[in-house]
Chain A
Amino acid sequence: MSGLRRVLAVLLPLSLLALAAGVAIGSVSISPLELWAVVRGQGDALHRILLLDLRLPRALSAFAVGGLLAVAGALMQILLRNPLADPYVLGLSGGASVGALTAMLAGLGAVMIGGAAFAGALASTLIVFGIAHGAGSWSPVRLLLTGVVVAAGWGALVSFMLAVSPSSELPGMLFWLMGDMAHARNPAVPMAILLVVVLAAVPFGRTLNILARGPQQAAALGVAVRRIEWLLHLAAALLAATAVTVAGSIGFVGLIVPHLLRLIIGNDQRVLLPASALAGGILLVLADTLARTLIAPEQLPVGVITALLGVPAFLYLLHRSPA
């Protein structure tokens, strides 16, 4: 486990730095001295509101969502044994989008939009599992294909809803579809879910490593493949649904972070899963800080930034890695 210790020794301080940056940087500039005053429980009332009511919950939520997406992506990649798998591969973000846009069209508030997104995500997961199970057993290929097709169906529904929505609602809908942290308030639930799933998954790391090599091999080595796969699916769906509920469908984090880490630290799930949680969190906190400030007072959806940051970084690593 020395690998894990080394990775944590790098990523934990980086996480704290990223969170500190997320809290310290905003469109209203607050000097380090004023920051320190607020940290000590004093300081200007305005600064306290900005730091404690706006930036801190938002940075923590971003961290949690990034972690949730990265871990969900890592789990999906093991499960489907497909490098292109991401948290949304089973149509999860499509279902969530349809739920959220319906709530927006009905003029409901932020809480209901989150609830509708969660319901949509779960509905999509159930549909995909139900159909993929079908008559025979479900193979990863069958599951993947079902997911892709169901996602295409959701995509059509989303386009339909955008086409018939009043133009005044469109900017809000597009922000949601590209992922937006502006409505995240309480980081406690996503943080808790992330922590519980990662802590629960690490002891299974060895099993997951075997599973990643293929189900036959895993079964031959005495792994209860079916049960583990079910657990993995449930965990990944829960993680991704939580993330989508908080921040809309932020693309890319779940796909790129696990791959990026594999290129650097290898494919040992005992290290990879906690590392994904931290690295995903770091990426999203930094991306959200940029989204808030880059062209302030105009705001950007965070999904735009994650892709703009992640694509070149990933291509560079891929290009450098042997085969």
Chain B
Amino acid sequence: MTRTRPPPKIALPVVLMVALLIATTLGSVGTVAAAGDARSVTDDRGRTVRLAAPARRIIALAPHIAENLFAIGAGPQVIGTVSYSDYPEPAEAVPRIGNHGALDMERIIALKPDLIIAWVSTANRRQAERLETMGFTVYYSDSHTFDELASTFERIGHLTGHDDTATALAVSFRQRIATLQRHYADAPPVRVFYQVWDQPLMTVSDQHLIAKAIAVCGGVNIFGGLDALIPRISPESVLAQDPEVIVAGGMGEANHEWLQAWRRWPQLRAVRNAQLHFIPPSLLQRHTPRLLEGTERLCKALDEARRAQAPPP
């Protein structure tokens, strides 16, 4: 579905209908007739999550999960979220129920949620498991590819009764990524270092979604082959790999300090060619629809690096 592209004018409605069809077939066709509103999807731990009716009282256990719920139109149904849930703006008004490390179980139970959406890669996961044993419905989310992320939109859209908005979002997300992919398919490869954190120095391996974004833009992640999802590395290994571009987030949305630090090594190709690029962490590091914007910025940065490499005409 991501590769084929019918003529532009009818593309969206057709794809929408197909996706809706698929979504309903994947959903609980068997129980639809009996229970009417019943919902059932498979979460990212491969378990079936069932609801008698679309969720009305949802708790999000990670900021990006709250963001995704708002993006598919389920924002008003979010009754609790964790610290640092700061996007979109209405998310800041949602009551807090803990942070990524520990949850306030009492508050969660008092809020009587009918759906709790947890993130697999966070330490509050164990408390989510406890909530599950107490009878709450928990959906575990995790995405390592653009397609998994788009399918997350569809699945939480189905659980929360926003199939239409969610499917439209997923379709356009897949399309725009496919467009980028096509555009950069034949671009000369650029060797990229993506910096997740400064001290200790951290990057991403190729299993990470950020590395998938680098690949879409025709970049090559210099630490792609490492085992850990977010490996800790030494500055030496960055110097040895000598990337053509260094892309960093930072502490905060406009803090370029980490990039400045690389200027200590003018012999680095990225420094020599002034290819140190800042991309706000919330655009690349959060698994949300904004990842598209982050990926587009990343592609532009790599394009600039290609021009810097090209011999002067």
Contact between B109 and A171, CB atoms less than 8 A apart? no
Q: Say which residue of A26, A49, A110, A166 sits within 8 Å of B228 (CB atoms).
A: A166
Please determine whether A26 and B101 come into contact, CB atoms closer than 8 angstroms: no
- Any chain A CB within 8 A of the CB of B103? yes
- In the assembled complex, how far is the CB of residue A1 from the closest CB belonging to chain B, in whole angstroms? 42
Query: B-facing mask of A153-173, CB < 8 A → 1, else 0?
Result: 000000000011011111111
Whether A109 lies near B129 (C-beta < 8 A) is yes
Q: Is the beta-carbon distance between A171 and B107 smaller than 8 angstroms?
A: no
A299 at the interface (CB under 8 A from B): yes
How far apart are A102's CB and chain B's nearest CB, in angstroms?
Answer: 15
Which residues of B does A touch, CB under 8 Å? 83, 95-107, 109-110, 112, 121-124, 126-127, 129-130, 134, 197, 202, 228-230, 232
Give Cα A167 to B110, complex, Å: 30
Residues of chain A within 8 A (CB-CB) of B126 are 109-110, 172, 183
Return the chain A residue nearest B202 by Cβ: A167
Check if A175 sits within 8 Å of B229, measured CB to CB: no
A145 within 8 A of B: no
B98 touches A298 (CB 8 A): yes
Nearest-neighbor residue (CB-CB) of A300 within chain B: B102
A168 touching B109 in the complex, CB below 8 Å, given contacts A297-B97, A298-B102: no
A interface vs B, CB < 8 Å?
A: 26-28, 46, 49-50, 53-55, 109-110, 163-164, 166-175, 180, 182-183, 292, 296-299
* In the complex, chain A residues whose CB is within 8 Å of the CB of B107: 27-28, 296-297
The CA of A55 and the CA of B107, in the complex, are separated in Å by: 12
Contact B104 A27 (CB under 8 A): yes
Report yes or no: B102 in contact with A175, Cβ–Cβ below 8 A.
Answer: yes
Taken together as a complex, chains A and B put the C-alpha atoms of A172 and B126 apart, in Å, by 9
Which chain B residues lie closer than 8 Å to A46 at the CB level? 109-110, 112
Instruction: Kindly state the separation between the CA atoms of A28 and B104 in the bound complex, as whole angstroms.
Output: 10
Chain A residues with CB under 8 A of B230: 166-167
- Give every chain B residue within 8 A of A180 (Cβ-Cβ): 102
Residue in chain B with minimal CB distance to A26: B106
Q: State whether B122 touches A168 (Cβ < 8 A).
A: yes
Residues of the A chain whose Cβ atoms lie less than 8 Å from the Cβ of B109 = 28, 46, 49-50, 54
In the bound complex, CA of A298 to CA of B84 (Å): 12
A68 to B104, CA, bound (A): 26
Provide the residues of chain A in CB contact with B130, threshold 8 Å: 110, 183
Chain B residues positioned under 8 Å from A53 (CB to CB) = 134
With A109-B129, A172-B123 in contact, do A299 and B104 touch (Cβ < 8 Å)?
A: yes
- Shortest CB-to-CB span from A249 to chain B, Å, is 17
Q: Quick one: closest B residue to A55, CB to CB?
A: B106
Which A residue's beta carbon lies closest to that of B100?
A171
Contact call A54/B123, Cβ cutoff below 8 A: no
List, sorted by A's number, 27 A–B pairs whose CB atoms are closer than 8 Å: A27-B107, A28-B110, A46-B110, A54-B105, A54-B109, A55-B106, A109-B129, A110-B129, A166-B229, A166-B230, A167-B202, A172-B101, A172-B124, A175-B123, A180-B102, A182-B127, A183-B126, A183-B130, A292-B106, A296-B107, A297-B97, A297-B104, A297-B107, A298-B98, A298-B99, A298-B104, A299-B103
Q: For the complex, what is the distance from the CA of A298 to the CA of B112, rounded to whole Å?
A: 19
In addition to A166-B229, A298-B104, 18 A-B residue pairs with Cβ atoms within 8 Å of each other are A27-B106, A53-B134, A54-B109, A110-B126, A110-B130, A164-B232, A171-B99, A171-B123, A173-B123, A180-B102, A292-B104, A292-B106, A297-B97, A297-B98, A297-B107, A298-B96, A298-B102, A299-B104
Q: Smallest CB–CB gap between B131 and chain A, Å?
A: 11
* Interfacial chain B residues near A297, Cβ < 8 Å: 95-98, 103-104, 107
> What 3 A-B pairs are tightest by C-beta distance, nearest first?
A171-B101, A172-B123, A297-B104
Closest to A171 in B: B101
A49 to B100, CA, bound (A): 24
Give the chain B neighbours of A50 by CB distance below 8 A. 106, 109-110
A175 and B127 alpha carbons, distance in the complex (Å): 13
**Which residues from A are CB-within-8-Å of B95?**
297
| Identity of the chain A residue whose Cβ is nearest the Cβ of B82 in the assembled complex | A297
Contact in complex: B101, A296 (CB < 8 Å) = no
Chain B residue nearest to A107 in the complex (CB):
B125
